[in-house]
Homo-oligomer: A and B are copies of this chain.
Amino acid sequence: MAVRAAVAGASGYAGGEVLRLLLAHPEVEIGALTGNSNAGQKLGGLQPHLLPLADRVLQETTAEVLAGHEVVFLALPHGQSAAVAEQLGPDVLVVDMGADFRLEDAADWERFYGSPHAGTWPYGLPELPGGRAALEGSKRIAVPGCYPTAVSLALFPAYAAGIAENEAVIVAASGTSGAGKAPKPHLLGSEVMGSMSPYGVGGGHRHTPEIVQNLSAAAGERVSVSFTPTLAPMSRGILATCSAKARPGVTAESVRAAYEKALADEPFVYLLPEGRWPATASVHGSNAVHIQVAYDESAGRIIAISAIDNLTKGTAGGAVQSMNIALGFHENTGLSTIGVAP
């Protein structure tokens, strides 16, 4: 019998994407849909691509509306999840696609988000060492940020294998859906088409401490991270170009071997054959992660590049994958590694 899932924040991009995936999930029945600013409206006018749900009406995000579901997905603005979550019982699986419960360090949270730390939940990136064990049977899941997903998967094999110095330089390009659906001038089509631009430069992006947390855990020591996100003229996709100084004795072969070992059995992560490089179009709409790695002997650096769909593996797909583990479903139920390309 299917579990019933509610989605709070169903009118935004993360909410829409989790609904797109749940519609194809054989073990889930879609229950209440909420969205405070659009309560009372039909979903068809807000998410016209979700045709089977066109006549569903959005409700207010209240404890009453969310009651009676085995799973509740939260796609709310940062800082709003805790208040909703505490009204949901301990037996309800709460999957938070916001940032509220990702960071372990309260000081990091306060520095980057400017509010009191709500706590730390099991982290929804099963591919990290120990990742699955933390999620099995859990009733609370903090879905990672989109950049931390792309970057952590690209670099953790190097740190887990001890082949990289504790200093990573990351430049990532993201599609505009990562910035959400709230209209802002710099996100207008007229502004983003034909343009690349950086933001949050110099360590200011809120995903920086989350990346540091993940890489440091893999390395067993604090990894210093220079992270520069850029906005690319596309709707979806993250291409993360990550590099780290290689430790002495590293060779192209040892780099390749480390990645093959770390990623061999992952259902969603694909280490590309040598000579090919990832492209975000190849993972469009899918939960797949395409990764390639090289050793630049001249510069002495390991270069690892990953491509994900920021809304799928980077948000809603990661959420569903983690839900599958938490509820004991097969991990890839309802999820695909097939991109929609070209």
Q: Which residues in A have some Cβ–Cβ distance to B below 8 Å?
A: 13, 16, 20, 23-24, 44-45, 47-52, 54, 167, 169, 171, 173, 175-177, 179, 181, 183-185, 187-199, 201-203, 208, 224-226, 228, 230, 232-237, 239, 241, 243, 270, 272-273, 276-286, 288, 290, 292, 294-301, 303, 305, 307, 336-342
What residues on B are CB-neighbors of A297 within 8 Å? Answer: 203
Closest residue on chain B to residue A209 by CB atoms: B298
A48 interface neighbour in B24, B192, B279, Cβ under 8 Å: B279
Instruction: List 27 A-B pairs, Cβ < 8 Å.
Output: A23-B338, A24-B338, A45-B273, A49-B283, A52-B338, A169-B299, A171-B228, A176-B193, A177-B342, A181-B185, A181-B190, A183-B185, A187-B190, A189-B192, A194-B280, A195-B234, A195-B280, A195-B282, A196-B232, A196-B234, A196-B280, A197-B279, A199-B277, A224-B299, A235-B341, A285-B340, A340-B340
Question: In the bound complex, do residue B171 and residue A241 qualify as a contact, i.e. CB atoms below 8 Å apart?
Answer: yes
CA–CA, A228 and B270, complex, Å: 21
| Given contacts A189-B188, A303-B202, A338-B51, A241 and B228 within 8 Å (CB-CB) | yes
CA–CA, A243 and B243, complex, Å: 12
What residues on B are CB-neighbors of A235 within 8 Å? Answer: 189-190, 193-194, 281, 341-342
What residues on B are CB-neighbors of A228 within 8 Å? Answer: 171, 241, 243, 303, 305
A185 to chain B, nearest CB (A): 5
Question: In the bound complex, do residue B282 and residue A189 qualify as a contact, i.e. CB atoms below 8 Å apart?
Answer: no
Closest residue on chain B to residue A191 by CB atoms: B342
A188 interface neighbour in B45, B173, B176, Cβ under 8 Å: B176
| Given contacts A196-B279, A281-B195, A342 and B233 within 8 Å (CB-CB) | no
A88 to chain B, nearest CB (A): 27
Question: In the bound complex, do residue A13 and residue B190 qualify as a contact, i.e. CB atoms below 8 Å apart?
Answer: yes
A270 to chain B, nearest CB (A): 6
Question: In the bound complex, do residue B233 and residue A279 qualify as a contact, i.e. CB atoms below 8 Å apart?
Answer: no
Question: In the bound complex, do residue B181 and residue A183 qualify as a contact, i.e. CB atoms below 8 Å apart?
Answer: no
Question: In the bound complex, do residue A276 and residue B338 qualify as a contact, i.e. CB atoms below 8 Å apart?
Answer: no
**Which 9 A-B residue pairings sit nearest by Cβ, starting from the closest?**
A49-B339, A195-B281, A202-B294, A189-B192, A197-B279, A171-B171, A183-B183, A226-B299, A49-B341
A38 to chain B, nearest CB (A): 11
